[in-house]
Structures are given as C-alpha cells and as structure tokens.
Amino acid sequence: MNTEWFECKVKYDKPLDSESLKTKTVTETYLVDALSFTEAEKRFIDEITPFMSGEFLVSNIRRIKLSELFESENTQADKWFKVKVAFITLDEKSGEEKYTIGFMLVQATDFKDALRQFDKNMAGTLGDFKIISMTETPIMDIYRYEPQD
C-alpha cells in the first residue's frame, strides 16, 4: 500500500508564559499518513486534541509527495529537512542524462546532521543521484497510520 502524506496546519492561541494570561496566535505544521483528505483531518484532530487546552482550527490540509521519510533514532533530532533529489538515468536513445526529481524528509538536529542522516540512509542506493536542495521545514511532528487491533 502506498503511503500518502498530508501536511496539516493547526492555528491556536498559545500562552506566552506560564504566569501570564497573554496569548499569541500560532500556526503549527504536522505531517499525517492517510488515504484521503477526510481521513487526514480526522486523524490529525484525534492526535492533537489531547495537547490542546482551548479552541483550535485546522487551517489547511494539502497533499505532499514524498519518496522517502528518514526518521532518526536520536531523541534530540527535533527538526525535519526536505531534500530535493535528482535521480540520474541515461537515455539510451540520445545518450543524455535524464533526471527524475524526488523529495525526501530527514529528521535531524541540524543541517549537518540532516546531510549525515541522508547519506547514511542512501548508502545502499544502486542508482546515481545528486542533492538539488535541502531546507529546514516547519514540521513539528509526524503521525503515521497505526492499525487498531
């Protein structure tokens, strides 16, 4: 079964500090593994509701294409980096290089760690590829589908 990823944004009022009654409206981004927009919204709401103390709004949901998602075993890895990769093949008719673009997410502590994690996970890849870009994303966490027993 193919994994479909949905980027979900939630908007809510976050307290500035524990003693103050002042709040700031923030928008946070999460990634949800689901089969449809409807399922993504329902699962997202189910996941975040226990962590919300007031009202919140799911302000946006969009499908994103990912070839791979590389999670880190390091508990300090709290950032997600989007890597744009060009897989290189040779066009047999023309003899020219052909590029197929893919996007991957890497969980890491910083940019250097993301590059290390990416290289480690791609070490067994048989085909040639090159990194086009790597950027830090605003993704706070991911919610994978877990079947209920």
Q: Each residue's pLDDT tens digit in the chain (149 positions)? A: 467 999 999 999 988 877 777 889 999 999 999 999 999 999 999 999 998 888 999 999 999 999 999 999 999 999 999 999 999 998 888 888 899 999 999 999 999 999 999 999 999 888 899 999 999 999 999 999 877 76
What is the C-alpha to C-alpha distance for residues 142 and 29, in angstroms, rounded to an integer? Answer: 9
CB 76 within 8 A of CB 127: no
Would you state the pLDDT for residue 2? 62
pLDDT for position 21: 79
The distance between the two most distant Cα atoms of the chain, rounded to a whole number of Å, is 69
Angle at 107 between CA 34 and CA 75, to 5 degrees: 110
Distance in angstroms between the alpha carbons of the first and the last residue of the chain = 19
The SS3 of residue 146 is: coil
Spatial distance between the Cα atoms of 125 and 100, rounded to a whole number of angstroms: 15
pLDDT score, position 85: 96
